[in-house]
Amino acid sequence: MILNVSGRTDIVAHYMPWFLKRYQEGYVDVRNPFYPKQVSRIYFTDVDAIMFCTKNPLPLLDHLTEFTKPLLLHVTLTPYQKEIEPGIVPSKKDIIKAIQKISAIIGKNRIVVRYDPIFLSDKYNIQYHNRCFKRLCDALDGYIETIIVSFIDDYKNVRKNKNILKNHDFSEDDLRMIGTSFSAIAKSHHIKVQTCFEDRNLVEYGFVKGECLSHTLAFQLTGRTDFKTLKSRKGNKCQCVEMVDIGAYNTCRHFCKYCYANFDESKVHTNITLHNPNSSILIGEIKPDDIIKIRKK
């Protein structure tokens, strides 16, 4: 079993003391987002590896050596300003320094940067993205091997924030210019730029079609070859290894205007107040009528 910590919220940035306590106590409970009475209990003895996903890796930096499990880290670094990403995040300079330090500890093949998602507007046009992507590659040359790129999707939160994002659709020329320029910039720094789970993967312009967590990398991390492939609503476009997400929707304090995991900001504020760092579950407590099932490998 591989834990995703987390695609539903930024546990590293906002709830790291809770996760460290769960790891120390040996288990974590996860509420099913679709059937809230159902709770999965996961013992870390059944965990083969942990993938952290965050916009702020600094709270993780001093704890890397505490984990006996193999680690993979995805850090999202986007070029947007406060009207798009109003949450409190360290400066990009500090995040880049943290990536460099983490790379030296766990290896550059185990830390991936996500330039994710790309959207276009009058302010955030292709020239703007090219400049930011080049600065990113300049700073991380030799520290990472892969950058994953995605394009903004038509989520509920995106539609709700259309007047803030001011984004417009991608033309084929837009995709061609992004594909060719990003590919050339990344190649000059010996970095692979790839997509995952995208309708347009831009391989014709030099991108690599890859996975967030491939079966090959999962084997390198764990020595196991029997992981299932993630079930996708889009058919077979995603070949990522199946992971278990221990987060909860509507709990991330970054409040990014393009996010799929926060779709009700009023619930976010409520959920934050319900977090107990001593609870076995991220938000709230285990209730007497909850149905707890142990999740095995």
Structural domains of the chain, with CATH: 2-294 (3.80.30.30)
Instruction: Give the span between the Cα atoms of 122 and 24, in whole angstroms.
Output: 48
Instruction: Give the span between the Cα atoms of 31 and 41, in whole angstroms.
Output: 9
Q: Residue 201: how many CB atoms within 10 A of its CB?
A: 18
279: which DSSP letter?
A: S
Q: With a cut of 70, say whether residue 234 has pLDDT above it.
A: no
Number of residues in the chain: 297
Residue 294 has what pLDDT? 97
Query: What's the Cα-to-Cα distance from 202 to each of 87, 137, 196, 214, rounded to whole Å?
Result: 31, 19, 11, 19
Tokens 């210019």, residue?
Answer: 177
The mean pLDDT value for 87-115 works out to: 96
Q: pLDDT category, 124, cuts 50, 70, 90?
A: very high
Rounded percentage of the chain residues whose pLDDT exceeds 90: 89
Q: pTM for the complete prediction?
A: 0.95
Strands 27-31 and 38-43: antiparallel
